[in-house]
């Protein structure tokens, strides 16, 4: 019972962590909080539905989703970020608008009902006195592995260095000859690729409808803030913690209490650690 | 002076209330024209929505915080009304009061921590609040609030025992909405609203004017919950049913779009935004999912333009019209003799072995000096020598690592900047901090907001106390504008002025506070020779009136002509101090800063010609051009 709930909590937590990681990608590299990320991720899942129906093998399905989401994400950058006046911090509203459009388009193309996606055949496996679906195990592993990969990308490569520099001081980076607009587009493209690779697994695990993106967006946001802005480690830990608290509170205190528990946890943690669990800097002021 | 007063607030005080009463009466009369029930209902819903949008504008536009929790506050109001009216006492006035209170309580639940954390946290906290609505409804027993299927059985509203018929209810809704908008308008068109505009400029300026960011934002945020609560009551009585589905993310989207279309700081244009959203919503059944696409597109495009919306457009037109008339009136306006400079109660500023380090780098080491009252003390030294850091330590932006800062006998050490400001320390910045959307007169007047601004209640009700305070503050601000020769531009938008003018505006704002101590950070850079002469004249007068003046200055010629006392900083320590003449001849200062053969830059003031005519040079000719200057400028604003 408990182990099953823990697995359930970890797999929903993994989704929150994935969303938070996605936010972090654009946040650390172009200083923009891209609210539309969750919508792109869910869009990717629905692309997979059509790709599977067309009979494509799994690697091709994932490739197609990654490319579609990257294109969509770049489109978000072009439409919602590129023409934003500097320092206006309007991205919260413009990306919210872009996300709304993406989800509405998803609903128009695939219908607004929850859809089942089967990327591969699976049977529940017994593990540590609990039962868990293989797709959820994959999902749980994803933020850990991909979070690490992205962390290395941003810490160890020239691209990462330039990205962090421009998020810290855009003008100074431009003066050094870095094409910051190209950086911004690249960051959104990477976030899109990431969404496309993970979205199908999220959809397979949840059998969600397009509008679940809103819920994901919010919980990912909570995970981001709880973990600390810009910290991929924080995003992973906070995502899992939120998923677990939600799942266990629902099990032991009563169903529906999960969201209250998360709210309380969020406020408590941030009152004592305003920068989040692993954050080193304060949130930028609007 | 006459023109400035007219331009910032109509002297015909009866005009606006009259227009307001007329419009309210006309809207009340609409159903008498035999309009169909459908349209009357649309007007009711528009009024409810306008209340909500005004709440969003207060928090997003005026307090600068994205508050997504209005549906939760609205729901609190609606359910309190439904419960009280159905189970206990059915009285619309009582319900309005209870709902407003409930909305404020629910709002503060998420707002207090969210605002404390700042930035996007309020958006997260309040959005979570909205997510909790359906869960809360399921947690509360079905018999109490009706769960997720909605609250039925709300009785027809009564006032003091009398049943309100459809027409009576319609009039109530219009009157409540109209009264709230008068309150909203009065609150934001006031020193309170201007304090909020100052806040948007950034935390640094607000603190230096003595404004408490958290308190102001929390007040505004709580105030913004009031219309949401009122709207909840009106909504519950409109349909006599509450549909929880209408209280979610969709409502937030509608409110955001309406606010963006109207302008995020709009007042009357809110109704245009609401009408627009209602039109889209009305059509959305035929749009299907395309309705969402349209909403998303409006958020996106509106967010990019993020300008004034309908209200911005209107303001631009009005300003253009007014400017034409003001120009004509200027001819007639008589400029009398500039007002006298009032007496100031200056106090000595004393630094006692103050040290400060940033991440292991010693910015200041054991700095001690006294800036006596009624004297001008100049801090000079090369870039990075700790001049601005010293100012920041005096006014509380930085806390000293060790040592003491004293104002007269009062301890300033470790006090937050807004407390120091309220004790009478005013300052200017290297880069002038002028909030947008304010006239020159208002910016200067904002120097007095904290000390002399009335509380929210007299502001909202426009009590005599408010009018007295406004008249006093305007007189003081207009007086300083005249003294500094800015009288002619009093009604112009301040942020659009040239650098030199903005410096003078900042100086006027600092003086308008009636400070004991005036801290000026490179006040002369960017001024032309005439302005420089005028500045020097004013500073001497201000000094003679008793203010303690501390200037950080690179222009040594200005320092020589102006300062009574010079403190030379080098590498974070006091190299020497003395009167300007001594400093100019001090061998080490000469060698290290004034340099022999350094190019003459900056404007020379020939007040006290240098002996031999050799040493009249700017202390640091590189300051204006090289990167170090920029670095120092940025670091001082952290």
Q: What is the pLDDT of residues B36-57, one digit of tens each?
A: 888 888 889 999 999 999 999 9
Bridge partners of residue B370, in order along the sequence: B350
pLDDT-derived band at B578 (thresholds 50, 70, 90) equals confident
Residue B139: which of A96, A100, A256 has the nearest Cβ? Answer: A256
Query: Are B139 and A225 a contacting pair at CB < 8 A?
Result: no
Cα(A198)–Cα(A16) distance, integer angstroms: 12
| Element housing B370 (H / E) | strand B361-371
Secondary structure in 3-state letters for B418-458: HHHHHCCEEECCCCCCCCCCCEHHHHHHHHHHHHHCCCHHH
Neighbours of B53 (CB within 10 A): 31
Disruptive mutation site among A20, A43, A81, A97 for chain B (greatest number of B CBs within 10 Å) = A97
Neighbours of B311 (CB within 10 A): 23
pLDDT of res. A242: 93
Domains delineated in chain B: 17-245 (no CATH), 349-438+494-593 (3.40.50.300)
Cα(B37)–Cα(A19) distance, integer angstroms: 47
pLDDT of res. A200: 92
CB proximity under 8 Å: A 34-73 to B? none
Query: Are A104 and B249 a contacting pair at CB < 8 A?
Result: no
pLDDT-derived band at B334 (thresholds 50, 70, 90) equals very low
Higher per-residue pLDDT: A275 or B402: B402
Residue A286: which of B64, B132, B138 has the nearest Cβ? Answer: B64
pLDDT of res. A87: 53
Residue B256: which of A93, A98, A99 has the nearest Cβ? Answer: A93
Residue B5 has pLDDT above 50, yes or no: no
Query: Are A259 and B138 a contacting pair at CB < 8 A?
Result: no
pLDDT of res. B145: 80
Query: Are B118 and A283 a contacting pair at CB < 8 A?
Result: yes
Q: Which residues contact B404 (CB under 8 A, 6 or more apart)?
A: B350, B351, B352, B353, B354, B411, B413
From the number of C-beta atoms within 10 Å of its C-beta (0-12, 13-18, 19+), residue B262 rates as buried
CB proximity under 8 Å: A 133-172 to B? none
Query: Are A100 and B295 a contacting pair at CB < 8 A?
Result: yes
Query: Are B124 and A221 a contacting pair at CB < 8 A?
Result: yes
pLDDT-derived band at B610 (thresholds 50, 70, 90) equals very low
Instruction: State which residue of chain A sits closest to B110, comparing Cα positions.
Output: A267
Here the tokens at position B515 are 């400070």
Disruptive mutation site among B125, B251, B296, B630 for chain A (greatest number of A CBs within 10 Å) = B296
pLDDT, tens digit (0-9, with 9 covering 90-100), for B361-391: 888 888 888 888 888 998 888 888 888 888 8
pLDDT-derived band at B337 (thresholds 50, 70, 90) equals low
> Which of A95, A102, A37 has its CA nearest to residue B303?
A95
Here the tokens at position A244 are 């677990």
Query: How far does the CA of residue A56 sit from the closest CA of chain B (Å)?
Result: 29
Strands B376-380 and B548-552, bridge-based pairing: parallel
pLDDT of res. A133: 87
pLDDT, tens digit (0-9, with 9 covering 90-100), for B419-441: 888 888 888 888 888 887 788 88
CB proximity under 8 Å: A 68-127 to B? 79-80, 83-85, 88, 90-94, 96-105, 107-108, 112
Cα(B69)–Cα(B78) distance, integer angstroms: 14
Q: Average pLDDT of B595-605? A: 45
Query: How far does the CA of residue B523 sit from the closest CA of chain A (Å)?
Result: 26
**Residues of chain A contacting residue B298, judged by C-beta atoms under 8 Å apart:** 97
Bridge partners of residue B578, in order along the sequence: B566
pLDDT of res. B12: 67
Residue B152 per-residue DSSP state: -
Query: How far does the CA of residue B330 sit from the closest CA of chain A (Å)?
Result: 36
For residues B621 and B598, is the Cβ–Cβ distance under 8 A?
yes
Segment of B103-107, B130-134, B299-303, B412-416 carrying the highest mean pLDDT: B103-107
pLDDT of res. B465: 83
Instruction: State which residue of chain A sits closest to B202, comparing Cα positions.
Output: A285
Instruction: State which residue of chain A sits closest to B134, comparing Cα positions.
Output: A256
| CA distances in angstroms from A183 to A180, A283, B110, B196, listed in the order given | 5, 22, 36, 35
| Residue B65 sits at the chain A interface (C-beta within 8 Å) | yes
Three-state DSSP state, B368? strand
Residue B299: which of A85, A94, A103 has the nearest Cβ? Answer: A94
| Residue B250 sits at the chain A interface (C-beta within 8 Å) | no
Instruction: Write A190-193 long-range contacts (CB < 8 A, 24+).
Output: A190/A25, A190/A29, A190/A70, A190/A150, A190/A153, A191/A22, A191/A25, A191/A26, A191/A34, A191/A37, A191/A40, A191/A73, A192/A40, A192/A66, A192/A69, A192/A70, A192/A71, A192/A72, A192/A73, A192/A74, A193/A66, A193/A67, A193/A69, A193/A70
**Residues of chain A contacting residue B253, judged by C-beta atoms under 8 Å apart:** 100
Query: Are A104 and B121 a contacting pair at CB < 8 A?
Result: no
Query: Are A97 and B306 a contacting pair at CB < 8 A?
Result: no
Higher per-residue pLDDT: A231 or B323: A231
Three-state DSSP state, B573? strand
Cα(B249)–Cα(B232) distance, integer angstroms: 16
Disruptive mutation site among A31, A211, A267, A269 for chain B (greatest number of B CBs within 10 Å) = A267
Here the tokens at position A164 are 């962090």
**Residues of chain B contacting residue A83, judged by C-beta atoms under 8 Å apart:** 304
Strands B565-570 and B158-159, bridge-based pairing: unpaired
pLDDT of res. A210: 86
Residue B289: which of A80, A107, A285 has the nearest Cβ? Answer: A107
Q: Got the DSSP string for B495-553?
A: GGS-HHHHHHHHHHHHHHT--SEEEEESTTTT--HHHHHHHHHHHHHHHHTT-EEEEE-
pTM: 0.80
Cα(A113)–Cα(A106) distance, integer angstroms: 11
Query: Are B125 and A267 a contacting pair at CB < 8 A?
Result: yes
Cα(A222)–Cα(B360) distance, integer angstroms: 35
Instruction: State which residue of chain B sits closest to A265, comparing Cα positions.
Output: B125
Q: Which residues contact B220 (CB under 8 A, 6 or more apart)?
A: B58, B59, B62, B63, B196
For residues A14 and A139, is the Cβ–Cβ distance under 8 A?
yes
Query: How far does the CA of residue A66 sit from the closest CA of chain B (Å)?
Result: 23
Here the tokens at position B530 are 């005439």
Question: How far is it between the farthest Cα atoms of chain A?
Answer: 59
Matching CATH number, A2-272, of 1.20.950, 1.10.3720, 1.10.3470, 1.20.1070: 1.10.3470
Here the tokens at position B77 are 């109001």
Residue B609 has pLDDT above 80, yes or no: no
What does the domain layout of chain A look like in residue ranges? Answer: 2-272
pLDDT, tens digit (0-9, with 9 covering 90-100), for B513-563: 888 898 988 888 878 888 888 888 888 888 888 889 999 888 888 888 888
Q: Average pLDDT of B84-88? A: 88
**Residues of chain B contacting residue A274, judged by C-beta atoms under 8 Å apart:** 116-117
Residue B501 has pLDDT above 70, yes or no: yes
pLDDT-derived band at A47 (thresholds 50, 70, 90) equals very high
Cα(B128)–Cα(B588) distance, integer angstroms: 63
Q: Average pLDDT of A117-144? A: 85
pLDDT of res. A183: 81
Q: Average pLDDT of B570-593? A: 81
Here the tokens at position A264 are 């309380």
Query: Are A79 and B300 a contacting pair at CB < 8 A?
Result: yes
Neighbours of B406 (CB within 10 A): 17
Q: Which residues contact B137 (CB under 8 A, 6 or more apart)?
A: B145, B146, B147, B148, B244
- State the residue for tokens 């007269």: B408
Residue A104: which of B135, B289, B298 has the nearest Cβ? Answer: B289
Residue B292 has pLDDT above 50, yes or no: yes
Q: What value does the mean pLDDT of chain B take?
A: 80
| Residue A271 sits at the chain B interface (C-beta within 8 Å) | yes
Cα(B474)–Cα(B8) distance, integer angstroms: 10
pLDDT, tens digit (0-9, with 9 covering 90-100), for A63-93: 999 999 999 999 998 888 887 765 556 777 7
pLDDT of res. B286: 63
pLDDT-derived band at B415 (thresholds 50, 70, 90) equals confident
Q: Average pLDDT of B212-235? A: 90
Q: Average pLDDT of B171-178? A: 92
Higher per-residue pLDDT: A256 or A47: A47
Q: Average pLDDT of B86-115? A: 89
Give me the percent of chain B exceeding a pLDDT of 70: 86
Residue B139 has pLDDT above 90, yes or no: no
A with B: how many residue pairs have Cβ under 8 Å apart? 127
Neighbours of B597 (CB within 10 A): 5
Query: Are A259 and B301 a contacting pair at CB < 8 A?
Result: no
pLDDT of res. A28: 82
pLDDT-derived band at B105 (thresholds 50, 70, 90) equals very high
Q: Average pLDDT of A181-203? A: 90
Residue B132: which of A88, A260, A282 has the nearest Cβ? Answer: A260
Q: Got the DSSP string for A12-47?
A: HHHHHHHHHHHHHHHHHHHS---TTHHHHHHHHHHH
pLDDT-derived band at B454 (thresholds 50, 70, 90) equals low
| Residue A16 sits at the chain B interface (C-beta within 8 Å) | no
| CA distances in angstroms from B347 to B65, B372, B373, B400, B409, listed in the order given | 38, 7, 5, 20, 9
Q: Which residues contact B572 (CB under 8 A, 6 or more apart)?
A: B362, B363, B364, B365, B367, B385, B386, B389
Here the tokens at position B261 are 């279309």
């Amino acid at each position: 019972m408990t182990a099953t709930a823990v697995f359930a909590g970890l797999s929903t937590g993994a989704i929150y962590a994935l969303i938070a990681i996605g936010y972090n990608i654009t946040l650390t590299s172009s200083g923009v909080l891209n609210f539309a990320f969750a919508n792109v991720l869910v869009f990717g899942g629905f692309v997979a539905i059509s790709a599977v129906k067309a009979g494509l093998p799994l690697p091709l399905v994932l490739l197609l989703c990654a490319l579609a989401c990257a294109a969509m994400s770049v489109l978000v950058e072009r439409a919602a970020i590129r023409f934003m006046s500097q320092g206006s911090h309007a991205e919260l509203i413009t990306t919210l608008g872009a996300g709304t459009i993406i989800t509405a388009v998803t609903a128009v193309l695939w219908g607004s009902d929850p859809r089942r996606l089967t990327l591969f055949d699976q049977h529940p496996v017994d593990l540590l006195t609990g039962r868990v679906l293989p797709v959820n195990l994959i999902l749980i592993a994803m933020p850990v592995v991909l979070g690490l990969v992205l962390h290395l990308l941003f810490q160890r490569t020239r691209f990462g260095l330039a990205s962090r520099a421009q998020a810290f001081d855009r003008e100074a980076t431009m003066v050094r000859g870095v094409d910051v607009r190209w950086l911004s587009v690249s960051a959104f493209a990477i976030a899109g690729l990431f969404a496309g690779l993970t979205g199908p697994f999220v959809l397979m695990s949840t059998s969600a409808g397009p509008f679940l993106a809103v819920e994901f967006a919010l919980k990912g946001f909570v995970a981001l803030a709880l973990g600390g802005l810009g910290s991929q480690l924080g995003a992973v830990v906070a995502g899992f913690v939120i998923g677990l608290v939600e799942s266990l509170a629902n099990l032991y205190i009563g169903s529906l209490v999960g969201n209250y528990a998360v709210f309380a946890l969020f406020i408590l943690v941030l009152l004592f650690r305003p920068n989040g669990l692993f954050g080193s800097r304060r949130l930028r002021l609007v | 002076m006459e023109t400035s007063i007219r331009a910032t607030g109509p002297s015909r005080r009866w005009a606006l209330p009259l227009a307001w009463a007329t419009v309210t009466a006309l809207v009340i009369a609409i159903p008498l024209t035999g309009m169909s029930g459908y349209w009357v209902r649309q007007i009711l819903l528009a009024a409810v929505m306008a209340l909500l949008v005004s709440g969003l504008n207060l928090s997003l536009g005026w307090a600068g915080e994205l508050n997504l929790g209005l549906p939760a506050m609205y729901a609190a109001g609606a359910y309190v009304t439904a419960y009280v009216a159905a189970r206990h006492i059915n009285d619309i006035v009582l319900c309005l009061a209870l709902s407003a209170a409930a909305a404020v309580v629910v709002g503060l639940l998420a707002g207090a921590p969210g605002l404390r954390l700042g930035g996007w946290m309020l958006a997260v906290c309040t959005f979570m609040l909205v997510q909790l609505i359906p869960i809360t409804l399921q947690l509360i027993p079905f018999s109490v609030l009706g769960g997720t299927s909605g609250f039925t059985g709300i009785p027809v509203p009564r006032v003091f025992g009398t049943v309100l018929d459809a027409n009576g209810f319609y009039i109530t809704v219009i009157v409540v909405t109209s009264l709230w908008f008068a309150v909203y308008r009065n609150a934001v068109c006031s020193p309170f609203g201007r304090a909020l505009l100052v806040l948007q400029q950034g935390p640094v300026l607000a603190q230096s004017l003595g404004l408490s960011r958290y308190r102001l934002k929390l007040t505004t945020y709580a105030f913004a919950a009031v219309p949401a609560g009122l709207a909840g009551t009106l909504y519950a009585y409109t349909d006599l049913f509450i549909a929880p589905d209408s209280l979610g993310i969709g409502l937030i989207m509608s409110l955001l779009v309406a606010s963006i279309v109207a302008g995020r700081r709009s007042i009357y244009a809110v109704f245009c935004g609401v009408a627009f959203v209602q039109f889209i919503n009305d059509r959305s059944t035929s749009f299907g999912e395309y309705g969402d696409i349209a909403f998303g597109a409006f958020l996106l495009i509106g967010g990019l333009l993020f300008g004034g919306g309908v209200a911005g457009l209107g303001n631009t037109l009005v300003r253009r019209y007014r400017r034409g008339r003001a120009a004509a009136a200027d001819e007639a306006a008589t400029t009398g003799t500039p007002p006298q400079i009032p007496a100031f109660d200056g106090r000595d500023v004393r630094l006692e072995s103050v040290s400060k380090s940033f991440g292991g780098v010693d910015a200041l080491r054991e700095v001690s000096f006294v800036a006596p009252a009624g004297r001008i003390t100049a801090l000079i030294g090369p870039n990075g020598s700790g001049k601005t850091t010293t100012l920041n330590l005096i006014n509380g932006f930085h806390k000293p690592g060790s040592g003491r800062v004293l104002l007269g006998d009062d301890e300033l050490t470790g006090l937050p900047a807004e407390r120091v400001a309220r004790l009478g320390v005013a300052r200017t910045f290297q880069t002038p901090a002028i909030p947008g959307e304010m006239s020159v007169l208002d910016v200067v007047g904002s120097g007095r907001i904290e000390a002399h601004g009335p509380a929210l209640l007299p502001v909202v009700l426009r009590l005599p106390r408010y009018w007295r305070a406004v008249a006093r503050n305007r007189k003081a601000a207009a007086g300083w504008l005249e003294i500094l020769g800015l009288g002619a531009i009093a009604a112009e938008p301040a942020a659009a002025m040239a650098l030199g003018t903005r410096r003078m505006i900042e100086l006027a704002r600092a003086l308008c506070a009636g400070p004991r101590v005036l801290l000026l950070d490179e006040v002369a850079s960017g001024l032309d020779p005439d302005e420089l002469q005028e500045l020097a004249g004013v500073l001497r007068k201000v000094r003679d009136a008793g203010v303690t003046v501390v200037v950080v200055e690179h222009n040594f010629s200005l320092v020589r002509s102006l300062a009574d006392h010079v403190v030379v900083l080098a590498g974070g320590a006091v190299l020497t101090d003395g009167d300007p003449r001594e400093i100019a001849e001090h061998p080490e200062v000469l060698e290290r800063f004034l340099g022999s053969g350094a190019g003459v830059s900056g404007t020379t003031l020939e007040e006290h010609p240098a002996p031999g005519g050799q040493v009249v040079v700017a202390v640091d000719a590189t300051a204006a051009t090289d990167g170090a200057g920029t670095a120092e400028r940025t670091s001082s604003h952290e």
